[in-house]
Amino acid sequence: MDLLDILTDKGLRRELPTREEALAVLATTDDQLLDVVAAAGRVRRQWFGRRVKLNYLVNLKSGLCPEDCSYCSQRLGSKAEILKYTWLKPDQAAEAAAAGVAGGAKRVCLVASGRGPTDRDIDRVADTIAAIKDADASVEVCACLGLLSDNQAERLKAAGADAYNHNLNTSESTYGDITTTHTYADRVDTVAKAHGAGLSACSGLIAGMGESDEDLVDVVFALRELDPDSVPVNFLIPFEGTPLAEEWNLTPQRCLRILAMVRFVCPDIEVRIAGGREVHLRSMQPLGLHIANSIFLGDYLTSEGQAGQADLDMIKDAGFEVEGAEQTTLPRHRAHAAAGGGCGGHQEEGACGTGGGCGTACGTVCGGHGEAPEAVETADVESAGTRAAGTEDEARTDLVRVRRRGAGTELAPNA
């Protein structure tokens, strides 16, 4: 049995691959790429059908962050010429959220820069959640406010939040290389606080920061251990004015291999293509939909995405459909285990749903290792962890566009 047959079989049974198998996915050749996508696509369809969940970002407070995360345009000392503004009023945030919902988004992600929220900030966000839910009670709301203190997750849950996002970003062993103002353990603690409060935990990674294949596998296995309901896969946007501005390490093929590896390790979890897909996947974005079951609609926090209508056209042209508010957002076994928690609460009989989900995920997940792969030729494959997208003059810096519309501006949002 070759590698992809093994991984497909394990994915259909929700069984954890070995680290060696996950690394082998990242080391496959471009000649094998469509086979990798097809294998990951079979796992995706088993648990999520052909539906794509749309998420919409609202940046409640932009820039001026005291943290020093090297990848972030909002970091301390960033010279990136991004929008900077303090907290949006609840009605302003609700108006921005409504544009995303009108464009087809099922979940609205409320994000604020900073180390973590004060209790007053939690009150602000609670008022914003109420304004959004008053307009449309079916909208899922995910908060992303940084590190949480005791009882803050419970307060967000009581205010109507369905989910909480806090990414691990990279492996524990290299976390100190990208951030010094907080620790990897701090991030794990916040994800645990969200889980403990009954919020749907959302936690993912950033690829393209110069990490090795081993780092990518480490962080994805750590995410599997945390068992979030959704895993956003971000591809670094190298903003001018940040320490990682020269890190152009990704190709579209590399991005697809990373997405496939995440799908094999997290077969029944919402895998979301997040920031950077337009910059790095480019014309190969539709292939990503065969692996991931979720994307962000329109713009991101500080950068512009492709037009919202282009996202919808891409989904339709690739043979997929947008998930509706009435559809279950988790595979049945996870939705049942998550009963009583935020998103995914629509228990549509027999539906496999897409993505999001709440509370504690399903009970015991297999961790068997299976047999070693036999048919992957890697002897002459250049290490994907060190393969660059090209020389400096080939980097698509023209695709990095600072957001100048939507939240915090007088211009209409892209949704």
Query: Binding site for [4Fe-4S] cluster: which residues?
Result: 65, 69, 72
Instruction: Mark the binding-site residues, compressed into ranges.
Output: 65, 69, 72, 109, 142, 202, 272
Nearest residue to 335 via CA among 320, 322, 321, 346: 346
Residues 393 and 78: beta-carbon distance below 8 Å: no
Alpha carbons 369 and 325: distance in angstroms, whole number? 37
Tokens of 206: 């950033």
Identity (one letter) of the amino acid at 259? L
Residue tagged active-site, from 51, 107, 155, 202: 202
Nearest residue to 311 via CA among 333, 331, 326, 289: 289
Residue tagged active-site, from 14, 44, 51, 69: 69
* 267 CB burial (10 A radius; 0-12, 13-18, 19+): buried
Active site residue 352: no
* 376 CB burial (10 A radius; 0-12, 13-18, 19+): middle
Nearest residue to 275 via CA among 88, 403, 172, 161: 403
Active site residue 142: yes
Longest dimension (CA), the chain: 58
Instruction: Mark the binding-site residues for [2Fe-2S] cluster, compressed into ranges.
Output: 109, 142, 202, 272
**Residue 285, number of CB atoms within 10 A of its CB:** 22
* 210 CB burial (10 A radius; 0-12, 13-18, 19+): middle
Active site residue 69: yes
What is the number of residues in the chain? 415
Buried b (16+ CB within 10 A) or exposed e, 342-360: bbbbbeeeebbbbbbbbbb
DSSP state of 293: S
Residue tagged active-site, from 187, 224, 263, 272: 272
Residue tagged active-site, from 14, 44, 51, 65: 65
Active site residue 65: yes
Alpha carbons 384 and 184: distance in angstroms, whole number? 25
Nearest residue to 305 via CA among 280, 322, 271: 280
Residue tagged active-site, from 75, 109, 254, 358: 109
Residues 27 and 381: beta-carbon distance below 8 Å: yes
Torsion of CA 206, 187, 200, 230, to 10 degrees: 20
Collapse the DSSP code of 165 into the 3-class scheme (helix H, G, I; strand E, B; otherwise coil) and give the result: strand
Active site residues: 65, 69, 72, 109, 142, 202, 272
